Structure formats: C-alpha cells, structure tokens
Amino acid sequence: MNILAFFDGACEPVNPGGTASYGLVVFDGAKRIFEDSRIVEPLTGRAWDTSNNLAEYAGFNAALNFALDRQLLSAQLHRGDSCGR
C-alpha cells in the first residue's frame, strides 16, 4: 500500500473568529480511498476562538485517526500549509 493523506484548513470570513473547517483526502497510490470535510467547533465554546490553525490541526487529527483506525502504520501524512516546517 502507498497511502498518502492531504489536508488543509481555513477560517472565513475572518481569521481568527470566523467559521473554521478542514478538508481531507486519502489516496492509496492513485486511487482515492477516503475523503472528509467538517466545520470545526471552537475548543472553548467561544466563536472567536476559531482559526485556520485550529482547522488545520483538526484536519491532521482526522487523517491520523483514519490511519490509526485502519492500522495503516506506514501512511504518510503530508502537512498542510499552517503547520510548522
């Protein structure tokens, strides 16, 4: 298996404080095997505590959970653009 996961997050119309969401797509070689997108709830319950970084982390977490749930221990999780280099 050649598992690759790609994810990204956004917060619109303002960042921070907008609606945070992420997208995730997972491939086995050239075949798409999973996709997910969700609106991310603020961690504190306060709407202004949303950000693109929170959304990006939620996308990474979804990719990690997908890999762990399916025991895909060799999966490559390609970081999104908000993660440190």
pLDDT in tens, 66-76: 999 999 877 77
Task: Give φ, ψ of 3 to 5 degrees.
Answer: -90, 125
CATH number assigned to the domain comprising residue 50: 3.30.420.10
Residue 84 lies in a domain: no
pLDDT level of residue 85 (50, 70, 90 thresholds): very low
Structural domains in the chain (count): 1
Residue 53 lies in a domain: yes
pLDDT in tens, 29-75: 899 999 999 999 887 877 678 999 899 999 999 999 999 999 987 77
pTM: 0.84
81: helix, strand or coil: coil
Residue 83 lies in a domain: no
